[in-house]
């Protein structure tokens, strides 16, 4: 037999066998991968925030949903619209729907306790996000912005720019996070023996509309002069700004918020607001979801995590994306 023909025939057979073997390996790999996907447990997460009438919570939830969806799992989100009674019922409803873990941002840090206890009784873990709950023993971890520090940052900026300011404060005392922000502000003033006067406090302000109505009422009923406004969040600062503009007050008023929202950054850029202590909802979402999966995998996590804040003013606004969140 011609040796060259014999060699060529063997080479041809080898190519055929190699191709068949490679094809089989690819098929087996695909089957094993699909088998793994099908065997992977599908998790259903639940989330409830004090309100979804706030771009901060929309950004936070959207980033969580993006990460959870990428893992092949799902997120159910509920909006209690600032009602603790409604939020408690929504938590029970999500438990009945079979969620594996809950992300909770309470309307009222104390009144949510019965719902937290029900989660414990049903064996559903909780990641407490952005605002503390009072009954910390019922949650796996608390992930917060440095709310007290946000107030401290604003206090130091006011101290640089004003002498004996006349201050209007707009916040909701029932919300632990915003009350801590105002505490950080006032503690810093007092610790530095800084003279200031509080002219008005809108205690029930937590949304733009609430703040605008409360500020408008103050302007209508009280002729006291003021030169600083501090909102417990950006919506309250923006609501106060809207009322001031409607009243056509053009005094040199420094207006501060806390969130770092695109709307607040736009107002700073235009010169209508002085500053906002920026939270980082995208980072908070990443850390919250990461800890959630660790909990479900029975891994240990930290009981308390602080996400730093950063004051944004006209001096550093160019370092931030005005149209988006941090």
Tokens of 158: 């006011």
| pLDDT value, residue 326 | 87
Question: What CA–CA distances, in Å, run from 235 to 64, 241, 255?
Answer: 22, 10, 12
Mean pLDDT for 187-195 is 98
Asked whether residue 7 is domain-assigned, the answer is no
Whole-number Å distance between alpha carbons of 318 and 125: 41
Dihedral sign for Cα atoms in the order 322, 320, 54, 209: negative
Distance from C-alpha of 108 to C-alpha of 131, rounded to nearest angstrom:
9
Looking at the structure, do residues 245 and 126 belong to the same domain, yes or no?
Answer: no
- If asked whether residues 96 and 121 sit together in one domain, one would say yes
Backbone angles phi, psi at 224, to 5 degrees: -60, 140
Residue-range definition of the domain harbouring residue 82 = 44-145+281-307
Q: Are residues 110 and 165 in the same domain?
A: no
Structure confidence at residue 172 as a pLDDT band (50, 70, 90): confident
Which strands sit side by side in the sheet containing 126-129, from one edge to the other? 74-78, 44-48, 101-104, 126-129, 141-145, 304-307
In whole angstroms, what is the distance from residue 243 CA to residue 213 CA?
8
Confidence at residue 26, expressed as pLDDT on a 0 to 100 scale: 72
Q: Do 48 and 139 fall into the same domain?
A: yes
* 129-161 per-position pLDDT tens digit: 999 999 999 999 999 999 999 999 999 999 999
Any domain includes 248: yes
pLDDT value at position 78?
A: 98
Question: In this predicted model, what pLDDT tens digit does every residue of 314-325 receive, in sequence order?
Answer: 999 999 999 999
For residue 302, pLDDT over 50 is answered with yes
- Whether 156 is in a domain gets the answer yes
Q: Among 9-13, 232-236, 273-277, 302-306, whose mean pLDDT is lowest? A: 9-13
The separation between the first and the last C-alpha atoms of the chain, rounded to the nearest angstrom, is 76
**Domain check: are 185 and 249 in the same one?**
yes
* Nearest Cα to Cα of residue 229 among 249, 41, 24: 249
pLDDT at 76: 98
pLDDT value at residue 3? 52
Same domain, 52 and 118: yes
In a domain, 18, yes or no: no
Which pLDDT belongs to residue 16?
Answer: 65
Clarify whether residues 202 and 235 are in a common domain. Answer: yes
pLDDT score recorded for residue 6 = 46
Region 35-53: what's the mean pLDDT?
82
Q: How far apart are CA 77 and CA 219, in angstroms?
A: 38
The CATH number of the domain where 203 resides is what? 3.40.50.2300
User: What whole-number percentage of the chain has pLDDT above 70?
Assistant: 88
Average pLDDT of the residues in 257-266: 96
Q: Are residues 130 and 222 in the same domain?
A: no
Q: What is the pLDDT of residue 39?
A: 54
Q: Are residues 249 and 236 in the same domain?
A: yes
Buried b or exposed e, range 284-315, using 16+ CB within 10 angstroms: bbbbbbebbbebeeeeebeeeeebebbbbbee
Mean pLDDT score, 75-99: 97
Predicted local confidence at residue 173, as pLDDT: 81
pLDDT of residue 35 exceeding 90, the answer is no
Q: For residue 35, tell me if it sits in a domain.
A: no
pLDDT at 36: 47
Averaged pLDDT score across all residues of the chain: 91
Count of domains in the chain? Answer: 2
Whole-number pLDDT of residue 289 = 98
The answer to whether residue 165 sits within a structural domain is yes
Q: Does a structural domain hold residue 39?
A: no
Q: What is the mean pLDDT of residues 124-132?
A: 96
> Is the confidence at residue 30, as pLDDT, over 90?
no
- What is the token pair recorded at 297? 């995998």
What does the DSSP assignment read for 144-163? Answer: EE-HHHHHHHHHHHHHHH-S
d(CA 8, CA 170): 87
* pLDDT exceeds 80 at position 204: no
Indicate if 168 and 263 belong to the same structural domain. yes
Joined tokens for residue 287 = 């850390």
Q: Is residue 210 part of a domain?
A: yes
Could you tell me if 118 and 151 lie in one domain? Answer: no
Give the tokens for residue 103: 């992300």
Same domain, 234 and 175: yes
């Amino acid at each position: 037999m011609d040796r060259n023909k014999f060699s060529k025939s063997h080479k041809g057979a080898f190519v055929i066998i190699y191709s068949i073997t490679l094809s089989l390996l690819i098929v087996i790999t695909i089957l094993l991968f699909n088998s793994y996907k099908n065997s992977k447990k599908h998790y259903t997460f639940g989330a409830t925030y004090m309100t979804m009438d706030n771009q901060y919570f929309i950004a936070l939830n959207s980033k969580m949903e993006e990460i959870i969806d990428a893992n092949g799992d799902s997120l159910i989100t509920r909006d209690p619209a600032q009602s603790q009674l409604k939020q408690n019922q929504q938590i029970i409803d999500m438990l009945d729907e079979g969620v594996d873990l809950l992300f909770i941002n309470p309307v009222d840090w104390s009144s949510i306790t019965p719902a937290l206890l029900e989660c414990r009784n049903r064996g559903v873990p909780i990641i407490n996000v952005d605002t503390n709950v009072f009954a910390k023993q019922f949650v796996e971890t608390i992930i917060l912005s440095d709310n007290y520090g946000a107030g401290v940052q604003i206090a130091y900026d006011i101290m640089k720019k004003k002498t004996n300011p006349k201050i209007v404060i707009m916040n909701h005392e029932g919300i632990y996070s915003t009350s801590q922000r105002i505490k950080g502000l006032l503690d810093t003033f007092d610790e530095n023996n800084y003279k200031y006067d509080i002219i008005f406090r809108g205690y029930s302000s937590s949304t733009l509309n609430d703040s605008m109505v409360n500020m408008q009422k103050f302007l209508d009923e009280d002729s006291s002069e003021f030169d600083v406004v501090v909102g417990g969040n950006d919506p309250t600062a923006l609501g106060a700004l809207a009322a001031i503009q409607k009243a056509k007050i053009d005094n040199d008023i420094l207006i501060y918020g806390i969130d770092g929202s695109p709307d607040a950054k736009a107002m700073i850029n235009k010169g209508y607001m002085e500053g906002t202590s920026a939270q980082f909802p995208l980072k908070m979402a990443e850390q919250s979801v990461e800890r959630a999966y660790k909990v479900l995998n029975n891994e240990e996590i930290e009981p308390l995590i602080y996400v730093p804040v950063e004051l944004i003013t006209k001096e550093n606004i160019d370092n931030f994306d005005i149209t988006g969140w941090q």
